[in-house]
């Protein structure tokens, strides 16, 4: 008898024939009587508030080993996965994987079929981890269950399908994007998890140094011009843009965004979803937005010369434009705009600042330990002398043995002044711009990262893998 699985109540301990149970305030007396009858033990209740009990239940269910059984698929949905009955093996497996992913803070779940078995993997802090192997006999039922939950065609297995699932896991309201594609050995499924109850990060929570945060705040408060956030895919650029919007949000300002996709809804800001199928691109959307009397415009990404040209002219006509670019560092943004055929004098006139960033994994607080760095490690970071300690994670249950839990940004912020703008008109070479910026106190991402290594936020190996890769 498994009280946790069958009744969704938490056995605490057993002493002298008395079983202690953690229960929510809304527990049912008849359920307790049934457990007393089936176990033959006296029951002592520890009553918890609903939210505290839900958190404890999620932790316990997540820690349970995920069962893989074979059996008939039952197409039924529960509202809250913590309270859903695990009657069918496929339903049970999908629910358990979703609970596990939500608890460890995974961003994606991969269901990958191969010749003799399927593998389930979680992307946690940007890295994929194997958590489960599923027999091929059960795997198709699991895929069918996911399709039923996301209203996809269960009978169609030859073409890619996309859908969405809304589920509740305790206090979390998850919006899950589902992608199914056919492979040689069956359908491959990837779930992208978005926590709708998760609050957006503010500028203080991004991990910016005091000096860089003040620079970003100044840039966000500019009355007009372009401010760019650069970095590779998955570097947290959108999060930074959202944080800037939250900082400047004001009932007196008209703020409009054009995004692909709209990941989070912000009250008081008009958000437009790009839809190329009907001709709503970043460029066409930006043109239309300019007729809406905006003060601040956020463009999800400047992908082409047309969007870049409209953004520059919007900035020159008194609008603040926030957007992203794919470049390796902040000075390279100028070179990238020049490659998009924007005239140097227009870049100099419109560009107010560039924020370049990457995400590094945070050391797990539960298993963090200090150590003395060796010469080779310091040399790799470009540090000549250092007497202090570095930190690392040993690996524990809370971080799935990785030594890391959560991520934080490393940044470089390039604020434009008259001297830099004059240089841009003469040269768009990123090395020339970097040289002059360094003279004015510009700090690189590596230097920002080294400070975070010294403070015990991340490890030197993680920093080097992210910055020097």
213-223 pLDDT, tens per residue?
999 999 999 99
Percent of the chain residues topping a pLDDT of 70? 93
Last residue within a domain, chosen from 195, 213, 236: 195
**Tokens representing 64?**
């349970």
Residues 142, 28 share a domain: no
pLDDT tens digits, 12-23: 888 877 888 888
Residue range 65-77: average pLDDT?
Answer: 48
Residues 343, 209 share a domain: yes
Average pLDDT for the chain? 87
224: pLDDT confidence band, cut at 50, 70 and 90?
very high
73 lies in some domain: no
Residues 254, 121 share a domain: no
Residues 437, 393 share a domain: yes
204: pLDDT confidence band, cut at 50, 70 and 90?
very high
CATH code at 299? 3.40.50.300
234 lies in some domain: yes
pLDDT of residue 370: 94
Residues 318, 216 share a domain: yes
Please state, in angstroms and rounded to a whole number, the distance separating the CA atoms of residues 283 and 308: 8
For residue 85, give its domain range. 79-195
pLDDT tens digits, 265-316: 888 999 999 988 899 999 999 999 999 999 999 999 999 999 999 999 999 9
139 has pLDDT over 80: yes
Residues 382, 266 share a domain: yes
73: pLDDT confidence band, cut at 50, 70 and 90?
very low
Residue range 136-148: average pLDDT?
Answer: 91
CATH code at 32? 3.30.300.160
pLDDT tens digits, 75-119: 334 346 666 555 678 888 898 899 888 888 888 999 999 999 999
Residue range 383-395: average pLDDT?
Answer: 90
345 has pLDDT over 70: yes
**Tokens representing 192?**
């992208």
pLDDT tens digits, 165-197: 888 887 777 888 899 999 999 999 999 988 766
Q: For the chain, how many structural domains are there in total? A: 3
pLDDT of residue 37: 75
Residues 51, 90 share a domain: no
pLDDT of residue 26: 83
Of residues 429 and 88, the one with the higher pLDDT is: 429
């Amino acid at each position: 008898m498994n009280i946790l699985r069958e009744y969704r109540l938490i056995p605490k301990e057993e002493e002298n024939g008395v079983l202690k149970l953690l229960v929510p305030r809304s527990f049912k007396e008849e359920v307790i009587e049934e457990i007393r009858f089936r176990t033959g033990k006296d029951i002592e209740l520890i009553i918890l508030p609903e939210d505290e009990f839900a958190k404890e239940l999620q932790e316990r269910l997540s820690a349970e080993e995920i069962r893989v059984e074979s059996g008939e698929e039952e197409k039924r949905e529960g509202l809250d996965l913590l309270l859903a009955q695990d009657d069918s093996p496929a339903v049970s497996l999908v629910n358990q994987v979703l609970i596990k992913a939500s608890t460890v803070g995974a961003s994606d779940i991969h269901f990958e079929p191969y010749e003799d078995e399927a593998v389930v993997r979680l992307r946690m802090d940007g890295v994929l981890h194997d958590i489960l192997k599923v027999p091929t006999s059960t795997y198709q039922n699991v895929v069918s269950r996911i399709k039923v939950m996301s209203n996809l065609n269960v009978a169609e297995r030859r073409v890619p399908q996309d859908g969405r699932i809304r589920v509740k896991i305790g206090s979390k309201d998850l919006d899950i994007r589902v992608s199914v594609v056919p492979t040689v050995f069956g359908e491959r499924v990837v779930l992208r998890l978005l926590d709708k109850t998760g609050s957006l990060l503010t500028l203080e929570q991004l991990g910016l140094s005091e000096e860089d945060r003040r620079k970003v705040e100044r840039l966000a408060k500019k009355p007009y011009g372009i401010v760019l956030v650069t970095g590779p895919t998955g570097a947290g650029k959108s999060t930074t843009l959202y944080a800037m919007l939250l900082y400047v949000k004001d009932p007196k300002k008209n703020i409009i965004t054009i995004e692909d996709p709209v990941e989070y809804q912000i009250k008081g800001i008009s958000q437009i979803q790009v839809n190329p199928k009907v001709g709503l691109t970043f460029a066409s959307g930006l043109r239309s937005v300019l007729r809406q009397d905006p003060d601040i415009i956020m463009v999800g990404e400047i992908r082409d010369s047309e969007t870049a040209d409209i953004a520059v002219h919007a900035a020159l006509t008194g609008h603040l434009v926030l957007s992203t670019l794919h470049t390796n560092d902040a000075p390279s943004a100028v070179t990238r705009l020049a490659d998009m055929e924007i005239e140097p004098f227009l870049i100099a006139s419109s560009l107010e600042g560039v924020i370049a960033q990457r995400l590094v994994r945070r050391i797990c607080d539960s298993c963090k330990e200090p150590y003395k760095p060796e010469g080779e490690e310091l040399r790799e970071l470009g540090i000549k002398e250092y007497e202090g300690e570095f930190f690392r994670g040993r690996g524990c249950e809370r971080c799935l043995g990785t030594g890391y839990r959560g991520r934080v940004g490393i940044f470089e912020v390039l604020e434009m002044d008259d001297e830099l703008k004059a240089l841009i008109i003469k040269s768009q070479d990123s090395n020339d711009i970097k040289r002059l910026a360094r003279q004015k106190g510009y700090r690189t991402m590596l230097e920002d990262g080294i400070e975070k290594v010294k403070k015990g936020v991340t490890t030197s190996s993680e920093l080097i893998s992210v910055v020097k890769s």
